[in-house]
């Protein structure tokens, strides 16, 4: 499970930490979920984010993968709820539209745009991490828009 913590201050968002939650390989589902919960709790304690943004999940043909993803997703929602975070979900199309201006763009198109939109220390080489940054960025853009709309009332 890829994650990214993005801070929005000043003109340009910045990635303050990102990576993949390490999960014991071959472990039982419960131990995998425990590793995810502990990692997310630690990240939330360390950075005190205000929101958690997730990809909206659609069921694919592989029921076993879908169930495993849904279980992990339940853990992320629980960690966020326990910490009192706002929770937002975006479809892959919303994320692509937000990052590239085109809801139909491919994964590489999204990854090429990221360095132009968000400050980061190193190039992102893992798809799951790039996805997490793109989702966080989508939320940062929406949140900023919401604030602007609220101020304009």
Q: Tokens 């929602």 label which residue?
A: 77
The structure tokens 């999960």 sit at 23
Give yes or no for residue 63 binding a second copy (CB under 8 A): yes
Task: List the interface residues with a second copy, window 92-131 (CB under 8 A).
Answer: none
Comparing CB distances to a second copy, the nearer of 88 and 117 is 88
Among 12, 17, 20, 59, interactor with a second copy by CB under 8 A = 59
Contacts of 47 (CB under 8 A, 6+ apart): 5, 16, 17
**CB neighbourhood size of 82 (10 A):** 12
Token representation of residue 131: 């996805």
Q: Does 42 bind a second copy (CB under 8 A)?
A: no
Give the shortest CB-10-to-a second copy separation in angstroms.
30
Return the residue of 75, 129, 132, 136 that touches a second copy, per CB under 8 A: 75
Residue 20 or 70: the one with the smaller Cβ distance to a second copy is 70
Binding piece for a second copy, criterion CB under 8 A, among 6-14, 29-37, 110-118, 144-152: 29-37
For residues 145 and 153, give the distance between their C-alpha atoms in angstroms, rounded to a whole number. Answer: 13
Q: What is the DSSP string of 77-102?
A: HHHHHHTT-EEEEE-HHHHHHHHHS-
Residue ranges that bind a second copy, judged by CB under 8 A: 28-31, 33-34, 37, 57-59, 63, 66-67, 70-75, 77-78, 80-82, 87
């Amino acid at each position: 499970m890829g994650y990214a913590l993005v801070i929005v201050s000043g003109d340009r968002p910045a990635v303050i930490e990102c990576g993949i939650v390490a999960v014991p390989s071959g472990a039982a589902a419960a131990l995998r979920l425990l590793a995810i919960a502990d990692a997310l709790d630690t990240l939330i304690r360390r950075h005190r984010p205000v929101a958690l943004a997730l990809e909206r999940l659609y069921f694919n043909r592989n029921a076993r993968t879908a169930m495993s993803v849904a279980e992990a997703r339940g853990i992320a929602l629980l960690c966020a709820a326990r910490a009192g975070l706002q929770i937002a979900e975006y479809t892959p199309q919303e994320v692509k539209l937000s990052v590239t201006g085109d809801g139909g763009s491919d994964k590489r198109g999204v990854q090429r745009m990221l360095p132009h939109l968000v400050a980061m220390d190193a190039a992102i080489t893992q798809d799951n991490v790039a996805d997490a940054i793109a989702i966080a960025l989508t939320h940062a853009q929406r949140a900023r828009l919401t604030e602007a709309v609220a101020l304009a009332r």
